[in-house]
Amino acid sequence: MSSAPHRFDSHAATGQPAIEPERYEFFSPPAHHFHLARRDFFKLLGAGVAVFASAKSAAASAQETPASSRGFHNENLPNDITAWLHVGEDGTVTAFTGKAEIGQNIRTELAQTVADELRVPFTSVRMVMADTALTPFDAGTFGSRTTPTMTPQLRRVANAARDIFINAAAKEWNVAPDTLQAAGAKITNPATGRSLTYAELARGKALAQNLPAEDPVTPPNEWTIAGKSIPKVDARAFVTGAHQFTPDMTRPGMLQGKVLRPPSFGATLISCDDSAAKALPGVVTVRDGDFVAVAAPTEHQAQQALAALRAQWKESPAQISNANLFPQVKQKASEKSDDRHRGEQGSVESALAAAQRRLDATYTVAFIAHAPLEPRAALAEWTRDANGEKLTVWTGTQRPFAVRDELAATFRVPDSSVRVIVPDTGSAYGGKHTSDAALEAARLARAANHPVRVVWTREEEFTWAYFRPAGVIEIKSAISPDGTLAAWEFHNYHSGASGIETPYVIPNQRTEFHPVNPPILRSGSYRGLAATANHFARESHIDDLVHTAGLDPFEFRMKNLKEQRLRSVLEAAAKSFGWPGKKAQAGQGFGLAVGNEKGSYVATCAEVTVDRASGSVKIVRLVEAFECGAIVNPDGLRNQVVGAMIQGLGGALFESIEFENGRITNARFSRYRVPRFSDVPEIEAVLLDRKDIPSAGAGETPIMAVAPAIGNAIFNAANVRLRSLPLIPRGLKA
Amino acid sequence: MATSLEISVNGKRHAVLYPPDTPLLVVLRDELGLTGTKYGCGEGQCGACTVLIGNMPRRSCQVPLSAAVSQPITTVEGLEQNGNLHPVQQAFLDAGAFQCAYCTSGMIMSSVALLRQTPNPSPAEIAKSLQGNICRCGTHPRVIEAVTRAATAIGQGRTR
C-alpha cells in the first residue's frame, strides 16, 4: 500500500512552531505503552477478577505487512501488560480485543470462545473491541488472522480466569484446586455438592493474574458453546436501525467536513482561493500543503463551501489509462523477483525443452474496488484537560492502532493522547487499512476547534481509497504423456504473491513475483489479496492442460494433488455438485477449481449456460466445499463462505475500474457493476468440520476459486478460453 | 433559500427549515436524527437510503424535501411497535440475513413495501424487487429467505 495521502506541511496542523526541534521519539514506536494501571482498571470496571497479558503474547504473525512509516511494528510490539478479561461482581464478563467487527461476525465468535472456555452462559459475555484506550494492542483485523490467533489467545485468557476462580474457591473451602469443577459460571466441589458462583467469588475482590505461559485449553471436541450456530450479537440493533456506524455518530457542536480532491491522480495544487468559501456563514477552511478542506454546520453548507473553492491544479503528464495498463505493468515491474516469494525446484528449462506437450499463456487481472457500502468515515474531537490535548477519533478501520500511531505522528502528540474507537463497521474487505478519513477529520477539527465528521462520498470512495492491484501473470508449462505435470514456470507481475505457490506435484518448477514499486495507482489489500488472481491463472491454465491431455478435470487434479485436505474439499465439492455434470442442453458447461491459502482449503464447481448468438452467459449454480479446521460458528461460517462466493462473482464477471488519462470513469454504482440479486445463482456451501485441526480464518479463501471455476465452465460450454478478469464485462462476444 | 416545510415521519409531524431541494435523506439523518436510513451512493443506485413514502419504497437521497411533504414517511425506526419488531425485521433476525448490516435498513424497507404490494412473492419476485438494493457482503440468498418467512408470518395473522 502506498503512503498516507496527506502530509500536512504547516505548523498549524501541530499547533507547534514552524521549526520543530528534532523529536525522534515521535517517529519510532513507543518502547512501553502504559494502558490503565491495574488499580485504575478495577476502578473503571469495578471489583472482580481480571486477567492481564502482554500484547506480545497475542502478536498476530501477520501474513501481509502493509508498508507504513510506522504503525505496523509487529517486530516491535509494546511490552505493556494490558487487561484482556474482567469478571465483575454481578458475574458479567468483559473481554477485550483490538480486533474490529466489520461484518465477519467476529464479535459473536469471540464471545462464544470466551464463554466456552470460561464455562459461563454466552449471554453473560460482552466484548470490548478495537478501542485503543481500552483494548490490548493489535496489528489489525486482516489476513484471516482473528480466528487462528485471537480465539486461542482469548481461550488462554479465559482459562486463566477460570483458574483464579478455582483457586479462590479452593482457598475458601480449604481443599485442593484439582478436586473442583468449573461449569455454569460457578465452581462446584463434587465431594460436598457445594458451589460458589463466579459472581460470589468476585465480590469485593480485586484479583488479578498474568497469563501463564502454558495452560492447555479446551479441545474442539469438548466445546459446548463454541462450535454452535449462535446468532449475531446485537443483531436487533441492526434490524431496527439503532446501531450507529461512524457516519451516524455525532458530537455536540459537530461540523461536517469535506475535502477538495484533485481532478486526476498525481495532480498537485498550484493555488487555491478560499475567500468565497470562507465568507459563507459558519464555514471553516483549511489549506495545508496539498490538503484543502472545509467544515460547516450542515451537509448543505459544507457542499456549498466546497463548491466555492477556486483551485488550480497541475496535472501529472504521465497518466494512466486502461488501454496501456497491462503493457505498463510489465514494463514497470521489476525484472528481479521478490526473493520472499521465489520458489524453484528441478530444472524448468530442460523440462520445457524436452516436453512434447507445452502450453504457454498470459493472464491479466483488472484493478477493482472494495466498494464497502459504508464509505470511509471518521469523527474527530480534540479536547483539553490538565494533562494537555487529547484527540478522540471514531472511524471504521481495520487497523485502529496504526491509525492512532499515524494520527499521533501527524499531529506530533504522544500516542497516549490519541484514542481511536472503531464502531462495528459497514464492511471493509481489506479496504479499510488506512487512516485517510481519520487524518482529514482530525485536521479539520484542529482548525475548526469543533468536532468534525468526514464521510466520503461514493465517488471519493471509488477514487481515493485504494484498489486491488491489477496484474499480469505468465505461465509456461509442460505435461507428460502419463498425465502428470512436467514443468511449471509462473510469473506474477504487480498483483501480488498470495497463493502464488502451486499445490500440484511438479518436479520442475519456478515461481516468481515481480513487484512494481511504487505500485501503479494506490494499491492495497483486498479480500484474499492476489490469491484470486494467482488461482485464476493457475486453475485456468491447469484446465487448459487437462483439455490438451483429454482428461477429466476432477480426475486430473486428484492425480496431481497430494495434499489430503485439498483432495478432501475437491471430493466433497464434486460429490455435492454431481461431477462430472451431464450436459442436458446446448450451451451448458461445468468447471471446477481448487486451492488452499491461509490455512484453509477450497474447491468450487460451477455450472453455466452460454448463448453464443447473444453472447449472454448465465451462472446457473455454484457449489463450494470449504475446510478451515474446527468450525467455531457453523452458521456464521456459512454466511462468510456464501458471501465470499457472491462477492467473488463481481471480480470474476464484470468488476473493473476504468481509467482514462488518470481519471476514473466509472466511480459510481451506476457505472461500476457489483453483484445484485439477479446475478446470484443457486449456491451451495459444503462445510467440512475438522475438530482435529486448529481453526483457521475463513474471511478470504472462499473467494478465490470462484473466478477460475466459472472460467473453466465457460470453456466447457463454449470452447472459448477467457484469460482476463473480469471474464465477461460485456458478455461473451463470438 | 431555506424554507419551513412540514413532513410527517413515523407518525410525527416535524416542521423543518431547509432549502426545498435538500435530499430527504439529509433531513432525516441530520435534522431528525433518524440515522437508521443510510447514505450509500447519493444516486439512488444502492438502496441503503430506502424509506416508504406512503406505501412506496423511495430512495431518500433522490427525493427532494419538497416532494416529501404530502404523504407520510416511514423509516426503519418507525417499524417497531410497542417493542415488537415488524415481521420483516423479525424475519431478517431469524434468517441471519446480514453480515455488516449497513444495507439492512434499506433491504427491510424495500421488503416491507414489496409485501404490502405482493403478500406472497415468489423468490424471483423478491429478487426482482430488491434488485436496486446492494449488499456487498453477499447475503442475498438469506434476504430472499427472510422475505419469504416474513410473508408467511404476515399471512398467519401478524398483519402489518
pTM equals: 0.94
- Kindly tell me the number of DSSP H helices and DSSP E strands found in chain A: 17, 29
Determine the pLDDT at residue A23: 26
Determine the pLDDT at residue A44: 80
Asked if residue B160 is part of any domain, the answer here is no
| φ, ψ dihedrals at A58, nearest 5° | -115, 10
3-state secondary structure of A33: coil
Where do the domains of chain A lie, and which CATH numbers do they carry? 31-228 (3.30.365.10), 246-315+376-455 (3.30.365.10), 322-368+467-725 (3.30.365.10)
Asked if residue B117 is part of any domain, the answer here is yes
Q: A205-214, A490-499, A558-567: which range is least confident on average?
A: A205-214
Determine the pLDDT at residue A15: 45
CA dist list (Å): A320 to A17, A468, A659, A661, A664: 40, 16, 7, 5, 10
Asked if residue B11 is part of any domain, the answer here is yes
Cis status, amide bond into A423, omega within 30 of 0? no
Residue A499 identity (one-letter amino acid): G
In this complex, is the C-beta atom of A280 within 8 Å of any C-beta atom belonging to chain B?
A: no
| Same-domain check for residues B74 and B8 | yes
A378-416 pLDDT, tens digit per residue, is 999 999 988 899 999 999 999 999 999 999 999 999 999
Q: Where are the alpha helices (DSSP H) in A449-583?
A: 458-464, 531-548, 553-560, 564-577
- The owner of cell 446480514 is B98
Determine the pLDDT at residue A575: 98
Chain B residue whose CA is closest to A245: B102
Mean pLDDT of B94-106: 98
Determine the pLDDT at residue A104: 97
Chain B residue whose CA is closest to A425: B100
| Same-domain check for residues B105 and B70 | no
Asked if residue B140 is part of any domain, the answer here is yes
DSSP state letter for A390: E
- The owner of cell 416529501 is B68
Mean pLDDT of A430-457: 97
Bridge partners of residue A513, in order along the sequence? A492
Q: Which residue from A266, A362, A325, A427 is spatially nearest to A657, judged by alpha carbons?
A: A325
3-state secondary structure of A47: coil
B96:A427 CB<8 A: no
| Same-domain check for residues B57 and B8 | yes
pLDDT at A552 over 60: yes
Chain A residue whose CA is closest to B78: A240
CA dist list (Å): A78 to A55, A213, A364, A492: 7, 18, 42, 36
- Around Cβ A618, how many Cβ atoms within 10 Å? 14
Mean pLDDT of A523-528: 94
Determine the pLDDT at residue A520: 85
Chain B residue whose CA is closest to A370: B136
Chain A residue whose CA is closest to B80: A240
A661-700 pLDDT, tens digit per residue, is 889 999 999 999 999 999 999 999 999 999 999 999 999 9
Determine the pLDDT at residue A411: 95
A245:B38 CB<8 A: yes
CATH of the domain at B144: 1.10.150.120
Mean pLDDT of B49-64: 98
DSSP state letter for A722: -
| Same-domain check for residues B16 and B74 | yes
Comparing CB atoms, the residue among A298, A426, A683 nearest residue B141 is A683
B144:A677 CB<8 A: yes
| Same-domain check for residues B96 and B148 | yes
Which of chain B's residues have a Cβ under 8 Å away from the Cβ of A462?
Answer: none
| Same-domain check for residues B70 and B123 | no
| Same-domain check for residues B60 and B94 | no
Asked if residue B62 is part of any domain, the answer here is yes
B127:A680 CB<8 A: yes
A427:B137 CB<8 A: yes
pLDDT at A630 over 90: yes
A639:B48 CB<8 A: no
Among B23, B45, B78, which residue terminates a domain? B78
A291-343 pLDDT, tens digit per residue, is 999 999 999 999 999 999 999 999 988 788 888 999 999 999 887 888 787 88
Strands A125-129 and A93-97, sheet pairing = parallel
Asked if residue B48 is part of any domain, the answer here is yes
A234-292 pLDDT, tens digit per residue, is 999 999 999 999 999 999 999 999 999 999 998 999 999 999 999 999 999 999 999 99
B40:A674 CB<8 A: no
**Domain range for residue B72?**
3-78
Which of chain B's residues have a Cβ under 8 Å away from the Cβ of A432?
Answer: none
B134-158 pLDDT, tens digit per residue, is 999 999 999 999 999 999 999 997 5
For residue B149, the surrounding DSSP H or E stretch is helix B140-155
Which of chain B's residues have a Cβ under 8 Å away from the Cβ of A298?
Answer: 26, 30
A52-83 pLDDT, tens digit per residue, is 876 655 443 333 333 333 333 343 444 456 78
* Interface size between A and B, measured as CB pairs under 8 A: 162
Bridge partners of residue A343, in order along the sequence? A511
Asked if residue B144 is part of any domain, the answer here is yes
| Same-domain check for residues B67 and B100 | no
Determine the pLDDT at residue B159: 53
DSSP state letter for A38: H
Among B44, B59, B78, which residue terminates a domain? B78
Handedness of CA B94, A242, A646, A613 (dihedral sign): positive
| Same-domain check for residues B99 and B65 | no
Determine the pLDDT at residue A62: 34
Q: A153-162, A373-382, B90-99: which range is least confident on average?
A: A153-162
| Same-domain check for residues B17 and B61 | yes
B35:A241 CB<8 A: yes
| Same-domain check for residues B73 and B96 | no
A248:B29 CB<8 A: yes
Among B78, B104, B129, which residue terminates a domain? B78
In this complex, is the C-beta atom of A252 within 8 Å of any C-beta atom belonging to chain B?
A: no
Strands A186-188 and A181-183, sheet pairing = antiparallel
| Same-domain check for residues B104 and B147 | yes
In this complex, is the C-beta atom of A564 within 8 Å of any C-beta atom belonging to chain B?
A: no
Total number of domains in chain B: 2
Rounded mean pLDDT of chain A?
90
Q: Which residues contact A675 (CB under 8 A, 6 or more apart)?
A: A646, A647, A649, A650, B138, B140
Residue A182 identity (one-letter amino acid): A
Asked if residue B55 is part of any domain, the answer here is yes
In this complex, is the C-beta atom of A431 within 8 Å of any C-beta atom belonging to chain B?
A: no
The ipTM value here is 0.97
Query: Cell numbers of A247, please?
Result: 457516519
Query: Cell numbers of A330, please?
Result: 510489465
CATH of the domain at B73: 3.10.20.30
3-state secondary structure of A500: coil
